[in-house]
């Protein structure tokens, strides 16, 4: 019997070896294709050893000691300074933080905090997170992390975040002070995965209009969007506003997936082309969750990249209207290549084009400094504050589905322009809104009025019944005589006074109802949102998309 078994093994062994060999070759070829770009870049760096020779000579013979890592980083920065402004080198010590922004999660304890007068106060506790399980509440003050005292001068958010993050399931010991009794307790928290949400708010503006605010496009954005869209539809939403203001972009995939939710049939969403990359067309391919119903996209000068892909697709197909101010103008696609020392190169590999064929990338011919100071140039020429005659840098005409003329070369120009309210961007007023005195006033009111505040069952009820004048009076009562004189002059203007009160009320609403509470209050005083609502209820909407 043993001999027969041995013969069977000998018979099958060549065949088994052949199968393993073929499988290995197949996997190898697939890995070669998927990793070709990374390996090629590493090979190029290895081949070109001039930089290594120069740095070795400096280390061996230079008159003083030098920081080799700094030399490498500055050399790389010098190389990419001759490329486009969006090709960047990411040092190894910053790569994790950069990636977390796009991956949609990290390992931590699940709190948000604010530094008020050198004291770290917990402003939000993530639902079902490690901190909530440990009994940490809004208003608790963080005194120590482990043996390190963190209350006092020179505390920075970056330092605290670094101390609170760590490996999954690792423990951290925190000393917390109760905001009312001042008692200090020690809590043990086991770090775990904490979601980094890319949707700030999803609320109903009225009985039929919903709004979803997206702060960036990360791996989890589309999943978040689908969930919030379904919840709004259950609340009776028939028309939608998508707020992409201050959204600098991120991954292209979720932007395309959200565009697919709005576009019917097999419409082109975006196309990419590059000298060393294969041209690709991204087509709407599934039944979307909001292919019918009025749609408005809100944009501003900080809406970039993936935000512009979504806004461009909606505009070019006349699926909805774009409202706000001209977008950033980033029509380039980056891919990230990991390098051997743990750093990475985020390299521009292609340009993208909207369905009408336009590239919205603005020129960087005058150098990186001029490119990055474009916001200031727009402010100085009045484009942001009232002059809606945008200078078109690309005179080639492109046409939307309904033959409306659009242009490229400098961002997406909105269908309806809404300038900044200059009163609300006054430096003195904003300094007042974000001062420590305002934060302290809202905190104190929250703790002293918890029982009353908990009686509000919803944001809508809170916004309707709660008066911001209460917070303003408490704020003024806590000021010294000299400061109060200055504040009184600023708040004599009725618009300033109303804006200031609403900002304080919104901060309180966030403590009660999280971000949805904040935006439910703040949107009531938002010129761009108000314009969107006006257009949705007006015949102008149909006129714009059909002309």
Residue burial 439-471, b: 16+ Cβ < 10 Å; e: rest: bbbbbebbeeeeeebeebeebeebbeebebeeb
Enter the DSSP assignment of 422.
Answer: G
Which of 141-155, 195-209, 328-342 shows the lowest per-residue confidence on average (mean pLDDT)?
A: 141-155
Q: Give the integer Cα–Cα distance in Å for 428 and 491.
A: 11
Q: Which pLDDT belongs to residue 3?
A: 46
Comparing 473 with 42, which gets the higher pLDDT? 473
Distance from first CA to last CA of the chain, Å, rounded? Answer: 87
Report how far residue 496's alpha carbon sits from residue 501's, in angstroms, rounded to the nearest whole number: 9
480-536 residue pLDDT tens: 999 999 999 999 999 999 999 999 999 999 999 999 999 999 999 999 999 999 999
The tokens for 254 are 């979720």
Which pLDDT score is estimated for 34? 43
Give residue for tokens 């009794």.
181
Residue whose token pair is 């900002």: 503
pLDDT-based confidence at residue 44 (cuts at 50, 70, 90): low
Which stretches of 381-481 are assigned E, i.e. beta strand? 398-399, 405-406, 416-417
* CA angle (337, 340, 344) in 5-degree steps: 35
- Predicted local confidence at residue 426, as pLDDT: 86
β-pairing verdict for 344-353 and 192-195: unpaired
- What distances in angstroms separate CA 493 from CA 296, 426, 479, 490, 507, one per listed residue? 32, 12, 19, 7, 22
pTM of the shown model: 0.88
Phi first, then psi, for residue 323 (nearest 5°) are -125, 140
Q: How confident is the model at residue 127 (pLDDT cuts 50, 70, 90)?
A: confident
Instruction: State mean pLDDT over 101-108.
Output: 86
Q: At what angle do helices 436-448 and 494-522 cross, to 10 degrees?
A: 60
Q: Is the pLDDT of residue 460 over 80?
A: yes
Locate the domains of the chain by residue range: 25-66, 105-195, 199-420, 424-532
Q: How far is CA 434 from CA 99, 114, 427, 475, in A?
A: 29, 11, 11, 13
Any idea which of 10-19, 44-53, 191-200, 461-470 has the lowest mean pLDDT? 10-19
Token pair in block for residue 146: 């482990």
Report the C-alpha gap between 361 and 304 in whole angstroms: 10
Which tens digit of pLDDT belongs to each residue from 395-451? Answer: 789 999 999 999 988 899 999 999 998 878 888 999 999 998 999 999 999 999 998
Q: In the 3-class helix/strand/coil scheme, how is 26-63 assigned residue by residue?
A: HHHHHHHHHHHHHHHHHHHHHHCCHHHHHHHHHHHHCC
Query: Does the fold of domain 199-420 match that of domain 105-195?
Result: no
Query: Quick one: pLDDT at residue 299?
Result: 98
Q: Tokens standing for 128?
A: 């079902």
The least confident of 21-25, 60-64, 110-114, 339-343 is 21-25
CATH class held by domain 199-420: alpha beta
Q: How many CB atoms lie within 10 A of CB 41?
A: 15
Cα separation, 486 vs 432, whole angstroms: 11
DSSP string, 190-225: E-EEEE--SEEEEEESSSSEEEEEE--B-TTHHHHH
Q: What is the distance between the alpha carbons of residues 123 and 141, in angstroms, rounded to a whole number?
A: 10
pLDDT at 53: 87
Protein fold of 105-195: Pdz3 Domain (2.30.42)
pLDDT at 46: 53
Cα atoms in the 13 Å half-sphere on the side-chain side of 17:
6
- Sequence-distant (6+) residues with CB within 8 A of 189 are 109, 130, 131, 133, 134, 136, 171, 172, 173, 174
pLDDT at 172: 96
8-state DSSP, 250: B
> What is the pLDDT at residue 31?
42
Q: Secondary structure of 60-109 in the HEC alphabet? A: HHCCCCCCHHHHHHHHHHHHHCCCCCCCEEECHHHHHHHHHHHHCEEEEC
Q: What is the mean pLDDT of residues 172-185?
A: 93
Decide: 269 and 259 in contact? Cβ < 8 Å: yes
The pLDDT of residue 189 is: 97
Contact 245, 274 (CB under 8 A): no
Reported as a single tens digit per residue, the pLDDT across 234-251 is 999 999 999 999 999 999
299 in Cβ contact with 322 (< 8 Å): yes
Tokens 């950069």 belong to residue: 98
Q: Are 165 and 108 in contact (CB under 8 A)?
A: yes
CA separation for the pair 379, 385 (Å, rounded): 7
Tokens of 281: 């067309």
Separation CA 472–CA 501 (nearest Å): 6
d(CA 294, CA 539): 12
Supply the pLDDT for residue 37.
Answer: 43
What pLDDT score was predicted for residue 102? 83
Q: How far is the CA of 345 from the CAs of 80, 92, 250, 348, 378, in angstroms?
A: 10, 10, 16, 10, 30
Instruction: For residue 3, give every residue at least 6 positions away whose Cβ sits within 8 Å of its Cβ, in sequence order, or none.
Output: none
- pLDDT, position 48: 57
- pLDDT value at residue 9: 44
Which H helix or E strand runs over 494? Answer: helix 494-522
Contact of 489 with 101, CB cutoff 8 Å? no
């Amino acid at each position: 019997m043993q001999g027969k078994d041995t013969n069977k093994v000998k018979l099958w062994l060549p065949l088994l070896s052949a199968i393993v060999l073929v499988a290995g070759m197949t996997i190898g070829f697939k890995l070669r294709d998927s990793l070709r770009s990374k390996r090629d870049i590493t090979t190029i760096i290895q081949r070109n050893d001039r930089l290594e020779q120069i740095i070795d000579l400096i280390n061996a013979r230079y008159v003083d000691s030098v920081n080799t890592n700094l030399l490498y980083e500055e050399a790389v920065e010098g190389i990419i300074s001759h490329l486009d402004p969006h090709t960047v080198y990411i040092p190894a010590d910053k790569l994790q933080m950069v990636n977390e922004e796009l991956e949609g999660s990290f390992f931590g304890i699940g709190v948000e905090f604010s530094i008020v007068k050198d004291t770290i106060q917990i402003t939000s506790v993530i639902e079902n997170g490690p901190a909530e399980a440990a009994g940490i509440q809004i208003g608790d003050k963080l005194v120590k992390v482990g043996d390190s005292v963190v209350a006092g001068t020179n505390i920075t958010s970056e330092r605290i975040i670094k101390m609170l993050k760590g490996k999954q399931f690792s423990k951290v010991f925190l000393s917390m002070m109760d905001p009312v009794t001042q008692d200090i307790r020690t809590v043990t928290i086991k770090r775990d995965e904490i979601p980094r949400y890319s949707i700030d708010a999803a609320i109903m503006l009225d009985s039929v209009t919903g709004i979803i605010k997206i702060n960036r496009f990360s791996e989890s954005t589309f999943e978040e969007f689908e969930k919030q869209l379904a919840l709004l539809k259950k609340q009776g939403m028939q028309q939608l506003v998508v707020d992409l203001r201050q959204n600098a972009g991120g991954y292209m995939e979720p932007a395309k997936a959200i565009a697919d939710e709005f576009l019917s049939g097999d419409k082109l969403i975006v196309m990419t082309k590059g000298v060393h990359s294969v041209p690709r067309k991204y087509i709407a391919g599934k039944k979307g969750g909001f292919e019918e119903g009025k749609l408005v996209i809100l944009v501003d000068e900080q809406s970039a990249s993936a935000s512009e892909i979504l806004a461009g697709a909606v505009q070019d197909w006349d699926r909805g209207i774009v409202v706000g101010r001209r977008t950033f103008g980033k029509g380039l696609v980056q891919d990230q290549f990991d390098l051997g020392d743990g750093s990475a190169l985020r390299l521009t590999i292609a340009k993208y084009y909207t369905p009408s064929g336009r590239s919205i990338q603005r020129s960087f011919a005058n150098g990186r400094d001029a490119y990055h100071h474009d916001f200031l140039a727009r402010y100085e020429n009045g484009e942001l504050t009232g002059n809606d005659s945008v200078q078109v840098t690309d005179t080639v005409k492109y046409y939307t589905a309904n033959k409306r003329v659009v242009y490229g070369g400098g961002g997406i120009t909105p269908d309806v322009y809404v300038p900044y309210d200059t009163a609300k961007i006054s430096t003195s007023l904003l300094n007042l809104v974000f001062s420590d005195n305002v934060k302290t006033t809202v905190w104190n009111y929250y703790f002293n009025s918890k029982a009353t505040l908990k009686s509000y069952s919803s944001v809508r009820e809170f916004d309707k019944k709660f008066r911001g004048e209460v917070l303003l009076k408490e704020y003024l009562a806590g000021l010294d005589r000299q400061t109060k004189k200055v504040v009184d002059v600023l708040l004599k203007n009725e618009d300033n006074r109303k804006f200031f009160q609403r900002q304080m009320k919104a901060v309180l609403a966030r403590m009660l109802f999280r971000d949805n509470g904040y935006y439910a209050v703040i949107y009531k005083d938002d010129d761009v949102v108000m314009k969107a609502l006006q257009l949705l209820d007006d015949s102008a909407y149909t006129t714009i998309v059909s002309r």
